[in-house]
């Protein structure tokens, strides 16, 4: 049986070669070699395992959804390693460090310390990890949280910074949602299990101005990143544009204001899409993106929001010839499961 050599080029300059058997998916071959490529669902739904194929022939099949890999992403050489079956030797650029990919997932237990609703839009869930040692993660990463009594899990980015004694998450309220339903009755002292950390969306070394684009509860990873920047006494310019649908969806603005007061070079603006809003900036984040924040392309852009927002920003950059030095983005699609009798 034939096999192919797959070169995995990690962003920290390390290259690892794995053997991929005929008909085998890259993600499976990597796990067999004890290399933990970013992944969550492994079903072509979440897009977490997205990498760039720089050389070689392969088949992606059709068992993935548009939100996980759009047609223009596919044309640009992006692939889902959970679906990619090589037909030749290949070179794949992995948007994560080799250290992160060689670290296996871990499961840990935490105790709820606070459940804080924010209007009808979101809930801040705060937990303390049993044993006292907080999980190791990179600012921007997420975990899978088992929803007690449901047999299901949901993925949420840390809104707290690595090393904090307590961990927190900003969770979107979804009527009928599995997690939202549980949060309605969750109390301090309740126990939850988590697996992670996961994800290749995280803050890289800061060497130039940063532009953060957050949509809804996509604000969570940026709160973690801002805390890391503040602790490091970063002097780089950072601008956050926080876009939501309704006025009530603007949550944790007080936390952002606190960073603006303490972090040199940090500024932010908020945008509300709803036409009936009285907010001073209405519309989409792309309509309120100052040219100076793009710094003639010498900027690292981080974007976290729902798929339509991510696609709109990518199209805006393409249509306007905006080419950031680096562009990291993460799409999220909240899962709503109807409550049944």
Say how many domains are in the chain: 3
Residues 115 and 50 in one domain: no
pLDDT of residue 13: 67
Domain identity same for 117 and 72: no
Sheet holding 122-129, edge to edge: 152-157, 142-147, 191-198, 106-118, 122-129, 167-172
CATH of the domain at 157: 2.40.30.10
- Domain assignment present for 293: yes
Closest CA to 241 of 299, 197, 298, 192: 299
In a domain, 312, yes or no: yes
240 and 188 belong to one structural domain: no
Lowest mean pLDDT among 127-131, 156-160, 237-241: 127-131
- Whether 186 has a pLDDT exceeding 80, the answer reads yes
Question: Given this model, what pLDDT does residue 335 score?
Answer: 56
Distance (Å) of CA 332 to CA 111, 142, 164, 316: 25, 11, 25, 19
Domain assignment present for residue 204? The answer is no
Band of residue 340 on the pLDDT scale cut at 50, 70, 90: very low
Same-domain pairing of 224 and 322: yes
Widest CA span of the chain, in angstroms? 66
Last residue of some domain: 101, 122, 149? Answer: 101
| pLDDT for res 229 | 97
Domain holding 12, by residue range, is 3-101
Whether residues 71 and 42 fall in one domain: yes
Both 16 and 79 in one domain: the answer is: yes
Return phi, psi of residue 224, to 5°. -65, -45
Q: Which of 84, 82, 89 lies closest to 56 in space, CA to CA? A: 89
Q: How far apart are CA 195 and CA 186, in angstroms?
A: 20
Domain boundary among 163, 198, 233: 198
pTM reported for the whole predicted model: 0.74
Q: Is residue 239 part of a domain?
A: yes
Please indicate, yes or no, whether residues 307 and 237 belong to a single structural domain of this protein.
yes
The mean pLDDT value for 79-94 works out to 94
User: Are 182 and 217 contained in the same domain?
Assistant: no
Domain boundary among 101, 119, 147: 101
CATH number for the domain harbouring residue 79: 3.10.20.30
Asked if 21 and 29 touch (Cβ cutoff 8 Å), the reply is yes
Backbone angles phi, psi at 316, to 5 degrees: -60, -45
Where on the phi/psi map is residue 283: left (φ > 0), alpha (ψ -120 to 50), or beta? left
Q: Give the 3-state secondary structure of residue 142.
A: strand
What integer pLDDT is reported at residue 338 of this predicted model? 33
Specify the pLDDT at position 334.
61
Same domain, 187 and 226: no
Burial 24-58 (b: 16+ CB within 10 A, else e): bbbbbbbbebebbbbbbebebbbbbbbbebeebeb
d(CA 138, CA 287): 31
Q: CATH number for the domain including 219? A: 3.40.50.80
Q: Let me know whether 63 and 33 are in one domain.
A: yes
The answer to whether residue 190 sits within a structural domain is yes
The answer on 310 and 263 residing in a single domain is: yes
DSSP letter assigned to residue 158: B
Residues 187-214 have pLDDT tens digits of: 999 999 998 777 778 888 798 999 999 9
Q: Is residue 340 part of a domain?
A: no
More confident residue, 65 or 222: 222
Q: What is the mean pLDDT of residues 111-138?
A: 89
Helix (H, G, I), strand (E, B) or coil at 7: strand
Q: Which pLDDT score is estimated for 336?
A: 40
Rounded to the nearest integer, the mean pLDDT of the chain is 90
Please check the confidence at residue 98 and state whether its pLDDT lies above 90: no
Q: Decide if 337 is inside a domain.
A: no
Q: What is the pLDDT of residues 291-311, one digit of tens each?
A: 999 999 999 999 999 999 999
Q: Is residue 338 part of a domain?
A: no
Domain shared by 42 and 91, yes or no: yes
Which pLDDT band holds residue 341 (cuts at 50, 70, 90)? very low
The closest of 160, 330, 307, 140 to 221, measured between CA atoms, is 140
């Amino acid at each position: 049986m034939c096999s192919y050599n797959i070169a995995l080029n990690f962003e920290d300059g390390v290259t690892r070669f794995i053997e991929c058997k005929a008909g085998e998916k890259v993600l499976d071959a990597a796990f067999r070699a004890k290399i933990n490529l970013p992944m969550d669902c492994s079903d072509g739904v979440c897009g977490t395992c997205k990498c760039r194929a720089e050389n070689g022939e392969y088949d992606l099949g059709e068992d993935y959804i548009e939100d996980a890999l759009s047609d223009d992403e596919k044309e640009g050489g992006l692939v889902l390693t959970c679906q990619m079956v090589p037909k030749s030797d290949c070179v794949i650029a992995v948007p994560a460090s080799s250290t992160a990919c060689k670290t296996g997932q871990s499961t840990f237990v935490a105790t709820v310390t606070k459940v804080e609703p924010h209007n009808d839009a979101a809930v801040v869930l705060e937990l303390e990890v049993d044993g006292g040692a907080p999980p190791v993660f990179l600012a921007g990463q997420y975990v899978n949280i088992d929803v007690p009594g449901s047999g299901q899990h949901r993925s949420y980015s840390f809104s707290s910074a690595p090393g904090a004694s307590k961990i927190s998450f900003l969770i979107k309220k979804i009527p009928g949602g599995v997690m939202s339903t549980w949060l309605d009755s969750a109390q301090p002292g309740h126990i939850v299990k988590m697996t992670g950390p996961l994800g290749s969306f995280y803050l890289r070394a800061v060497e130039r101005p940063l532009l953060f684009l957050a949509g809804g509860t996509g604000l969570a990873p940026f709160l973690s990143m801002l805390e890391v920047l503040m602790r490091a006494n970063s002097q780089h310019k950072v601008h956050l544009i926080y876009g939501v649908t309704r006025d009530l969806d603007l949550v944790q603005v007080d936390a952002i204001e606190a960073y603006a007061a303490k972090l040199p070079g940090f500024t932010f603006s908020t945008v509300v899409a709803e036409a009936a809003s009285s907010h001073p900036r209405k519309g989409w984040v792309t309509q309120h993106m100052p040219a100076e924040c793009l710094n003639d392309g010498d900027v690292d852009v981080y974007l976290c929001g729902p798929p339509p927002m991510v696609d709109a920003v990518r199209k805006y950059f393409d249509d306007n010839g905006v080419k950031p030095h680096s562009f990291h983005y993460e799409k999220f699609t909240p899962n709503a499961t109807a409550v049944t009798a």
